């Protein structure tokens, strides 16, 4: 497994992966203050695509993914990949799509354990009433990501 740390607008981003795919993309305010000077070859494409995303040049990721999780978690994470850039769905919408409305807490829990920040877009899942609920990266990051993907057409005067 190779690891790289890069700066992002939302903190230090850690990427872990190998020839089988990317297994972790996470963000933190704490931890290392040093970004990696050398990017392992197996992680270069992930670094490039994340940089393009933050620059507003990329709306879809094309990476080989290899997240570790239970069969149920894998199913939930795979369903997140169907949420288009700039769109949101509610936890209930996602649960209905997965076929068991009684599993809403389990689906929300699996979303919270998503190891592939941004690339598997759990930030696009919101409360049924439109509220920004439950995000492992923090609600301020969720808000930033949603605004980045769907900027308001109304501009501030200040």
Cα dist from 116 to 24, 65, 113, whole Å? 5, 8, 9
The whole-angstrom distance between residue 92's C-alpha and the CA centroid of its chain comes to 19
Compute the average pLDDT of residues 15-21: 97
If one looks up domain 71-149 in CATH, what number appears?
Answer: 1.10.10.10
Question: What is the per-residue pLDDT for 60?
Answer: 95
Q: Which of the following is catalytic: 27, 50, 98, 122? A: 122
Question: What is the per-residue pLDDT for 98?
Answer: 96
Distance CA 2, CA 79 (A): 27
In 3D, which of 143, 73, 151, 85 has the Cα closest to residue 114? 73
Question: What is the per-residue pLDDT for 31?
Answer: 58
Taking the chain, what is the end-to-end CA distance rounded to the nearest angstrom?
46
In 3D, which of 137, 147, 153, 120 has the Cα closest to residue 56? 147
This prediction has a pTM of 0.89
Q: What is the pLDDT of residues 105-146, one digit of tens each?
A: 999 999 999 999 999 999 999 988 888 887 878 899 999 999
pLDDT band at 29 (very low <50, low <70, confident <90, very high): confident
Count CB neighbours of 158 within 10 A. 3
Q: What is the pLDDT of residues 30-75, one digit of tens each?
A: 655 677 789 999 999 999 999 999 999 999 999 999 999 999 999 9
Query: Is 122 annotated as catalytic?
Result: yes
| pLDDT higher than 70, residue 17 | yes
* Domain ranges, ordered by start, for the chain: 2-54, 71-149
Question: What is the per-residue pLDDT for 111?
Answer: 95
């Amino acid at each position: 497994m190779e690891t790289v740390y890069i700066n992002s607008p939302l903190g230090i981003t850690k990427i872990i992966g190998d020839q089988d795919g990317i297994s972790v993309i996470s963000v933190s305010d704490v931890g290392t203050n040093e970004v990696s000077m050398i990017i392992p070859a197996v992680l270069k494409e992930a670094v490039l695509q994340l940089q393009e995303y933050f620059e507003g040049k990329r709306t879809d990721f094309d990476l080989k993914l290899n997240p570790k999780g239970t069969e149920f978690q894998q199913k939930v994470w795979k369903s997140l990949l169907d949420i288009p850039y700039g769109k949101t769905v509610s936890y209930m919408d996602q649960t209905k799509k997965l076929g068991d409305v009684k599993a809403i807490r389990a689906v929300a829990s699996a979303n919270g354990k998503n190891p592939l920040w941004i690339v598997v877009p759990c930030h696009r899942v919101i409360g049924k009433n439109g509220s920004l609920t439950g995000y492992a990266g923090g609600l301020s990051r969720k808000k930033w990501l949603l605004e980045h993907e769907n900027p308001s057409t109304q501009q501030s005067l200040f």
